[in-house]
Amino acid sequence: MNTTTGPLAGTVTAALHGVGVGTSAAVGTVVQVAPATRPPRDEPAAAEPAAAVAQVRAAFATVAATLRERAAVAGGTTADVLNATALMAEDPGLIGDVERRIGAGTGPASAVDEAVEGFCAILAASGPYLAERVTDLRDVRDRVVAHVLDVPQPGVPALVGPSVVVAADLAPADTAALDLAKVVGIVTALGGPTSHTAIIAAQLDIPCVVRVEGALDLVAGSTVALDARAGSVTPDPSAELVAAVEARRAVRAALAESSGGPGRTADGVAVQLLANVGTVEDAERAAARDVEGVGLFRTEVLFLDRETAPTVAEQTEAYVRVFRAFGDRKVVVRTLDAGADKPLKFVEVEPEENPALGVRGLRTSRKHPGLLADQLTALAAAAEQTGARPWVMAPMVATGPETAAFTAQARAAGLATVGVMVEVPAAALRAGSVLAAGADFVSLGTNDLTQYAMAADRLAGDLAELLDPWQPAVLQLVALTGAAGAAVGKPVGVCGEAARDPLLALVLVGLGVTSLSMAPAAVPAVRFALSRTTLATAQAMGAAALAADTPEAARAAVTALADPELLAL
């Protein structure tokens, strides 16, 4: 344990520390997630191997079906993660390996365990970018083993009151199934700021702290205060600390219920507040929220979990639904961002030692040009049917010539407003050239930009401190991009999760960002922060953050300049 003074209250409290996801806080009762049932030692061979194989096949199928059912209910990014996990449960290579082991005399539950561990070793050897999938695959194993042994399924136990769920790590299925009426926070010993648990927690607007040393020692049934902004978990909080948490939650609840309208700084400078969406259903739900449009529509969801590419007609139908849902509001569409951790069954790629630096995003169209051509055709058709004016951008663009080629192709397809994402440091360093090459706008993907700038895989929990979006080096790349946009009068957006932190959002605006896109639940707090801050103050915050040497120093410098009311968010 460390002794620290956190922002929740002015008193010194003993706290555990980790990496915070989000900026909110909560107080609740610790609920420890018990480990899954393991196969029995020296499990005997199946008396009837054929029957055991049939039982295991049925278990894998049941797990996959359950994951898809939860995905259908969850929607959005959560659905993406659950569907990807379901694919693991249907992997014919994995199931075939289990069958061979049963045939060789290994007990059925042990065969599942051994086969999964073999596949986990392959994933781990493929580089840290795929390491997070090990947790998902082991979750599939635990669920299948439970079916085979006829024991209760692993997961979060029944909750009674406001609960802080504590686990070594939470599988996507567990996180997606949380009772949002009772779960007020999540604490894990493992994971990272962009792990699947963190991503889903952010979408659900649940405060979360990951990589907490000592988390598993928290006593079940005890009370803890969790502060995602500070990355702290305080056992047995004082009355003052509890009151401070409750005050923060009351402020956020009031903001969520208010209708704030367009984003504006205190002196009236417009900053568009937009939503990140992952599916058509996700977009239709977001359209009902108080947002100014979509800043990132992740179209790859239409392509994942398919044996063949979606047709132009299928894509057109999906885009029509999204455009109609938002009417005259802005919709920024990202073209297919596949590859690396989002492989497509119908696209053959050569094995890559480092997929994060390989063929992904726009680069996929080099060998498979038809995918991008069909998508642009479908987007143009949907725009014509609805009268919408979508903004279309390509991911993983690094150079001016790549920008010129994409913008020319998109305009030839009939799309009027075309831009690119700035996720590669080269694109930020040469943002002026990128804009001069024909882009009407750029959008900063801060998650990937951070991992590439800091040479730290975004899924590597051990490098979480390097993945902090407050890293001054990353903010300097944002500043270069913002200055390039301002020089030619073109919009610069941010669609990474950095935009959901109210204080960091002010820094981004101060560095030249003109629109912010985030999970819809985060918009009210960011809108309020803007309304209490002039552009000049935001610019001073940006300068202070750039002058800092560490993320902690950057946040502290900005906090000192902020309206005191913002510290209650």
- Catalytic sites, residue numbers: 196, 495
Nearest CA to 79 out of 87, 166, 394 is that of 87
Q: What is the token pair recorded at 71?
A: 């995905």
Q: What share of the chain is helix, strand, coil (3-state, %, to 5)?
A: 50, 15, 35
Residue showing tokens 């086969």: 115
3-state secondary structure 147-216: HHHCCCCCCCCCCCCCEEEEECCCCHHHHHCCCCCCEEEEEECCCCCCCHHHHHHHHHCCCEEECCCCHH
DSSP state of 517: E
- For residue 454, the SS3 value is helix
Give the ranges where 288-334 is alpha helix by DSSP (H).
Answer: 312-326
Helix (H) or strand (E) holding 396: none
Distance CA 115, CA 533 (A): 56
Q: What is the token pair recorded at 304?
A: 């994942």
Distance CA 123, CA 146 (A): 23
Nearest CA to 340 out of 280, 423, 276, 405 is that of 423
Sign of CA dihedral 531, 534, 538, 540: negative
CB count, 10 Å around CB of 520?
Answer: 26
Per-residue buried b or exposed e for 307-325, using 16+ beta carbons within 10 Å of the residue's own CB: eebbebeebbbbbbbbbeb
79: phi then psi, degrees, rounded to nearest 5: -65, -40
Residue type, 567: L
Residue showing tokens 């094995």: 351
441: phi then psi, degrees, rounded to nearest 5: -160, 165
What is the end-to-end Cα distance of the chain in Å, rounded?
A: 26
3-state secondary structure 362-419: HHHHHHCHHHHHHHHHHHHHHHHHHCCCCEEEECCCCCHHHHHHHHHHHHHCCCCEEE
Strand partners, 334: 298, 393
Nearest CA to 173 out of 60, 303, 79, 304 is that of 79
Distance CA 313, CA 309 (A): 11
Nearest-Å Rg of the Cα atoms of the chain is 24
- For residue 422, the SS3 value is strand
- For residue 260, the SS3 value is coil
Whether 197 and 172 have beta carbons less than 8 Å apart is answered as yes
Q: What is the token pair recorded at 411?
A: 């305009």
